[in-house]
């Protein structure tokens, strides 16, 4: 980003499916901090459009995207996203599970914090009580971000992932509203 561009955080829209596919492909290829390996998601444009449609006007799930805005107010690439999915049973309907990713070149610019804060605000509006997520234990940057926003480490999942042939632990983190 230069001084004439910025980032806009907004709810996902119908026309975002193709851009999201590009974002997910970029994330999977540029970092090992995400769940999916390159080429593993297997999403088609129709599948992604169905997912986007599921977020529109939902009271049980939400998606926010970060997109570049130029000096004229025109938007272009989606460079980050965050989703919150509510529990499906009455016993966990108050819980949102969070997942997010931001392209590497935009790390450290506050985008993750903005995406997450919008989901926290949405959760409060919709009377959710608990937000939870998992994060690789060695991902200090992400753990620090989540802690700054009030999430606490609740547990450690030992050897929960295998990344590049190495075992990786994950933390479960939660924010109680």
Least Cα distance to 83 among 108, 100, 71, 101 occurs for 100
**pLDDT value of position 176:** 98
- pLDDT tens sequence across 102-157: 999 999 999 999 999 999 999 999 999 999 999 999 999 999 999 999 999 999 99
Q: What is the pTM of this model?
A: 0.90
Instruction: Give the Cα-Cα-Cα angle 141, 52, 146 (nearest 5 degrees).
Output: 20
Percent of the chain's residues with pLDDT above 90:
82
Percent of the chain's residues with pLDDT above 70:
97
Least Cα distance to 65 among 82, 48, 47 occurs for 82
Cα(27)–Cα(39) distance, integer angstroms: 11
- pLDDT tens sequence across 58-87: 999 999 999 988 887 777 789 999 999 999
CB distance 12 to 21 below 8 Å:
no
């Amino acid at each position: 980003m230069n001084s004439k561009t910025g980032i806009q955080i907004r709810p996902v829209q119908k026309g975002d499916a193709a851009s999201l596919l590009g974002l997910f492909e970029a994330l999977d290829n540029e970092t090992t901090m995400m769940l999916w390996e390159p080429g593993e998601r297997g999403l088609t444009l129709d599948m992604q459009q169905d997912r986007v449609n599921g977020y529109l006007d939902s009271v049980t799930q939400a998606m926010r995207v970060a997109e570049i805005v130029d000096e004229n107010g025109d938007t272009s690439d989606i460079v980050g996203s965050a989703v919150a999915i509510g529990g499906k049973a009455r016993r966990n309907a108050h819980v949102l599970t969070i997942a997010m990713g931001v392209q590497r070149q935009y790390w450290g610019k506050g985008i993750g914090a903005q995406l997450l804060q919008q989901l926290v605000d949405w959760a409060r509006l919709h009377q959710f009580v608990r937000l939870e997520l998992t994060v690789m234990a060695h991902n200090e940057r992400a753990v620090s971000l989540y802690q700054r926003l009030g999430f606490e480490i609740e547990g450690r999942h030992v050897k929960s992932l295998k990344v590049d042939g190495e075992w990786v632990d994950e933390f479960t983190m939660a924010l109680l509203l």
